[in-house]
Structure 1
Amino acid sequence: MNARPLLVAAFALAVVGAAQATTEEAMPGVYDARQAHSDYKLKCQGCHRPDGSGDALSNPPMNGHVARFLQVPGGREFLGRVPGVATVDLDDVRLANLMNWTLYRFDRENLPDDFVPYSATEISALRKRPLRAERAGVREGLVAQMSGVKF
């Protein structure tokens, strides 16, 4: 019996496992990056686009911008209350995973040094008060607090 195929398969699994562990360590609060990426594709990218660039009308860019909301008072809450987040059909655990992944994936460089990942409990509380028509005004007020940022 040739053990080489088994050794190759075992090595490949170890490499994949190590890569996943490294990714998860690099993204606190993300328990499953693959699930988050899949959820992003199914629930978010239709409006925010695969690269997070959004559009100029109603779907703001996330790429290079989304974590800036964490730097202003009320911004963290805003991200959990926007309609596409608050009303998405994911449970709170998966949504917290997706929120944290999105912040790391699209705007890691602007995450505050003291960033605390969203928890399922926090997401649950924020979802109970979704923003509706007032979303645009709230967003505009938050962006105005961000120095030197143009969206």
Structure 2
Amino acid sequence: MLRGILALAVLAGVTGAGLAAQGDLSETGVSNPALARQNWMLKCQGCHRSDATGTPQTTPAMAGIVAKFLHVPGGREYLGRVPGVATAPISDAELADLLNWTLYRFDGAHVPADFKPYSASEIGKLRKVPLRTDAPAMRAELVEKINALAEGGDT
């Protein structure tokens, strides 16, 4: 129940104070929703659009799919290594907040029930091995696994 309330608050973009009043933020991994939203606007939405629908020719959509990556092997690591994520000019802690916020904001319905939020430490490790030219191929492979999982196949 608390997790559902927290996820709804994050989805609505509630400020940190408003979210904190509703309970423990550790369940979503978003310590400062207002800053995470601001970082989304400044670092991500220029390419992914404000609603995370992306641009089919150049930027993948995140809305309705980003949390599905957490359901397949390698997907969690992929999200932290994507070039725009791994090279974002913010601290590891802010990036962990931003990634956790993005998952709940744009694909909360697919966040696994046992989701362990990204931590600053984990993000720091993933950023050390950013994806470069292999990002599109890795994404395609993971999307294939996501689709197979949705069809009831093995990953």
Matched, 1:109 2:109: yes
TM value normalised by structure 1: 0.83
Cα distance between partner residues in 2 of 1:17 and 1:68: 26
1:42 alignment partner, SS class: helix
Of 89-98 and 52-61, deviating more is 52-61
1:76 corresponding residue in structure 2? 76
- Contact 1:36–1:97 (Cα < 8 Å) also in 2: yes
Cα distance between partner residues in 1 of 2:66 and 2:73: 14
Cα distance between partner residues in 2 of 1:38 and 1:96: 14
Matched, 1:121 2:121: yes
Cα distance between partner residues in 2 of 1:122 and 1:43: 20
User: Between Structure 1 and Structure 2, whose CA radius of gyration is higher?
Assistant: 1
Cα distance between partner residues in 1 of 2:16 and 2:146: 39
Structure 2 stretches of 5 or more lacking a match?
1-14
- Contact 1:24–1:33 (Cα < 8 Å) also in 2: no
- Contact 1:27–1:104 (Cα < 8 Å) also in 2: no
Q: Which amino acid aligns with 2:62?
A: M
Report the number of matched residues: 134
1:146 alignment partner, SS class: helix
* 1:58 Cα deviation after fit: 2.3
Q: Which amino acid aligns with 1:19?
A: G
Q: Which amino acid aligns with 1:133?
A: T
- Contact 1:24–1:32 (Cα < 8 Å) also in 2: no
Structure 1 stretches of 5 or more lacking a match?
1-15
* 1:66 Cα deviation after fit: 0.2
* 1:25 Cα deviation after fit: 4.0
CA deviations over 1:97-140 (Å, ceiling 9, x no partner): 00000001000000111100000000000000000011010000
Q: Which amino acid aligns with 1:143?
A: V
Same amino acid, percent of matched pairs: 51
Cα distance between partner residues in 2 of 1:59 and 1:23: 35
Matched, 1:58 2:38: no
Cα distance between partner residues in 2 of 1:24 and 1:62: 26
* CA RMSD of superposed structures (Å): 1.9
- Contact 1:27–1:101 (Cα < 8 Å) also in 2: no
TM value normalised by structure 2: 0.81
Cα distance between partner residues in 2 of 1:90 and 1:39: 8
Cα distance between partner residues in 1 of 2:53 and 2:131: 22
1:44 alignment partner, SS class: helix
* 1:32 Cα deviation after fit: 0.5
- Contact 1:24–1:31 (Cα < 8 Å) also in 2: no
Cα distance between partner residues in 2 of 1:111 and 1:68: 7
- Distance 1:82-1:23 versus aligned 2 partners, 3 A rule: farther
